[in-house]
Chains A and B, each alone.
Chain A
């Protein structure tokens, strides 16, 4: 995976059939990138459902969550609607897995994104990464610690 201190590679992906999200447009906010293998699969659904509930904590820390998988924007749309998600799911669909590969979070064998997490700071620099073992829901504690540390470090500096 890309290491802390690396500028996060920019990308633009569809989150709905007629909308895109561009990473560089989110400068000034922290960004949590959650790569996951697939819509609908049980472990991912639990993980995304958990993050959906922790959004209010992320928002307090000025952090935007983005889910990324190789599913199409149509699948994302149906999945989001079914589960009441309040954050964008990005379609790394065509060319398949391009952004996941850019972030070294692609499983060539399975043809899906890996379950990988990044926290990117307000200036677009990667500050934390975590690759979860296959089939394991990593929870949200690592993300929360990483974004809190960023806020604390900033307070110390200013």
Chain B
């Protein structure tokens, strides 16, 4: 089915790395999905190996019925983004995948140094929940069929990503 990323990575996205990077890697992920936890470390490896050649984008794809904390975790990351701390929250969520209750989310927000009043307002806001829903719907349209799903320069990546396979593939594209 579809293998093209829709819409393409843009200023609406959370982006790490340079706009002039040769490769853009987009991940659709769920904070409670254990495979996504594995992928978190492997994306890190790829970023280290490719340096300025890699731009990384993360989009939310919470499987809420399978993972009861996934949506709230995604909303926490988006609420942190409102204060410019998306990646800090993203990293903390993946490093603490086993502890994603609402009180855990508050603890991470505090650790990230967020304005807590604002964070509490944002995490329940329509804007934040719409952003998570919009990411999810863009994933569905792009043919995401599970998490994590990767797109490399706009095309769905169907190959292996574990055990260094992702880094090896990205390097081969340079």
Please list the residues of chain A having a beta carbon within 8 angstroms of any beta carbon in chain B: 46-47, 49-50, 52-54, 57, 83-86, 130, 137-142, 144-145
Contact B65 A85 (CB under 8 A): yes
Contacts across chains A and B counted by CB atoms under 8 Å:
50
Cβ of B63 and Cβ of A142 under 8 Å apart?
no
Closest-by-CB residue of A relative to B141 is A141
Q: Interface of chain B, helix or strand or loop or mixed?
A: loop
Which single residue of chain A is at the shortest CB-CB distance from B61?
A53
Tell me whether B54 is interfacial, beta carbon within 8 Å.
no
Q: Which label, helix, strand, loop or mixed, suits the secondary structure of the A interface?
A: helix
B1 near A139 (CB under 8 angstroms)? yes
- B residues near A (Cβ < 8 Å) are 1-2, 63-66, 136-137, 140-146
Does A137 lie within 8 Å of B140, measured CB to CB? no
State whether B65 touches A142 (Cβ < 8 A). Answer: no
Say which residue of A84, A86, A138 sits within 8 Å of B145 (CB atoms): A138
CA distance A17 to B141 in the complex (A): 35
* B65:A139 contact, CB within 8 angstroms: no
Residues from chain B with a CB closer than 8 A to the CB of A137 are 145-146
Kindly identify which residue among B65, B136, B140, B146 contacts A141, using a CB–CB cutoff of 8 Å. B140
B145 x A57 contact (CB < 8 A): no
Known: A54-B140, A141-B142. A130 touches B65 (CB 8 A): no
Contacting residues, chain A, for B142 (C-beta < 8 A): 141
Give chain B residues whose Cβ lies under 8 Å from the Cβ of A142. 1-2
In Å, the complex CA distance between A77 and B142 comes to 31
> B66 touching A49 by the CB < 8 A rule?
yes
Q: Which of the residues B1, B65, B141, B143 comes within 8 Å of A53, measured between beta carbons?
A: B65
B64–A141 CB distance below 8 A? no
Q: How far, in angstroms, from A139 to B145 measured CA to CA in the complex?
A: 4
Cβ contact within 8 Å between A53 and B64:
yes
A83 touches B145 (CB 8 A): no
Asked if A50 contacts B1 (CB within 8 A), the reply is no
Which residues of chain B are near A84, meaning CB under 8 Å?
65-66
How far is B146's CA from A47's CA once the two chains are assembled, in angstroms?
8
A89 to chain B, nearest CB (A): 14
